[in-house]
Structures are given as structure tokens and as C-alpha cells.
Amino acid sequence: IMDGNGRWAGARHLPRIAGHRAGIAAVREVVEGAARLGIEVLTLYAFSDENWGRPREEVSFLMNMLGGYLRSEIATMKANGIRFRTIGRTERLPKTAHRWVEKAVSETTGNRGMVLNLALSYGGRGEILEAVKRLREAPDSRGDLTEEQFSEHLDTAGLPDPDLIVRTSGEKRI
């Protein structure tokens, strides 16, 4: 969970965006390290539903930074066999950021290496609500619901459950 960039910058008397820039540099190191270690799926919680309540300038900066990151990393992901996916309500993203997300997903969909899963406009409660909506629409939604059936309707369907969760700010809440 990418968290604490603003506090990191504040502790150094820097603007919040400096913390976000430092965070994006750390993302590359984490992705490369995870791939070297043979980690099959890495999910980075990059932008939560709650983040939409931040100042407009900061949100705009983050969305531009997302587009720039994807623009600069698609070729690297392709070269290293990394498959890019997202969880969350990416349709809420500004058009340009959304287009880069779709491009990264489509251009890496055939890759068979590590899955890099980015949580964007994501909230756990929102994911559960969307899964319930999908379940209601499913033709096989009658009868007793199992965990496996429910799991098939989550954003992470087809991916293993997390083995380890790290919150970069050091906070202990999820």
C-alpha cells in the first residue's frame, strides 16, 4: 500500500508532490525487485476512492504522473514479460490517464511473467459492492453462495490471495 508520500515530503519541508515523485521512483525499484525474486503477482494500492477528496491540483498531478509512468514503462513491461492489470473503478480516471491504463493493459495482456496489478480508484467496500452486483447478474447466482463463487466476481478473480501486505508509511491499519 503506497502511503505516506505526503508525510515523507512534509517531514523534509518539501511540497507533497515531491513525496509523490519519490514514491514513483520507489515503484520502479519495487517492481524490478519483485520480478527478480520471482514474485508472481504484485499489487500496488496507488490511488484509493478516498484520494478523490484531495485538493484538485494534487489529484491532477497524480493522474498526470500515472499517465507519464505508464507511457514510460510500457516498453519495459513488455520487454520483461510483465502483465499489467488494474483493480478498482478505473472508469472514474480522467480520459488521458484512463487511455494510458487501457493501453498498458492491452499491450501487455499476452505477457506471461509477473502480474503487476495497480489499484486505482479502489476501495475494498466498493469492490465488494461491485462483486455483489455482478453476482446478481450471473446466470448461476441461485443457491448457496460459496467463497469460491464470490471470489470469481472480485476484481482479483484468477489471482491468488495476498501472502504479504506492506504499508509504506509504517501504519498498521488496513
| Marked catalytic residue, from 3, 5, 64, 155 | 3
Catalytic annotation on 144?
no
Annotated catalytic residue 3 = yes
Task: Measure the CA–CA gap between 85 and 87, rounded to whole angstroms.
Answer: 7
- Catalytic-role residue among 5, 49, 51, 111: 51
Sheet holding 83-87, edge to edge: 41-48, 115-122, 83-87
Output the 3-class SS for the chain: CCCCHHHHHHHCCCCHHHHHHHHHHHHHHHHHHHHHCCCCEEEEEEEEHHHHHCCHHHHHHHHHHHHHHHHHHHHHHHHCCCEEEEECCHHHCCHHHHHHHHHHHHHHCCCCCCEEEEEEEECHHHHHHHHHHHHHHCCCCCCCCCHHHHHCCCCCCCCCCCCCCCCCCCCCCC
Enumerate the active-site residues. 3, 51
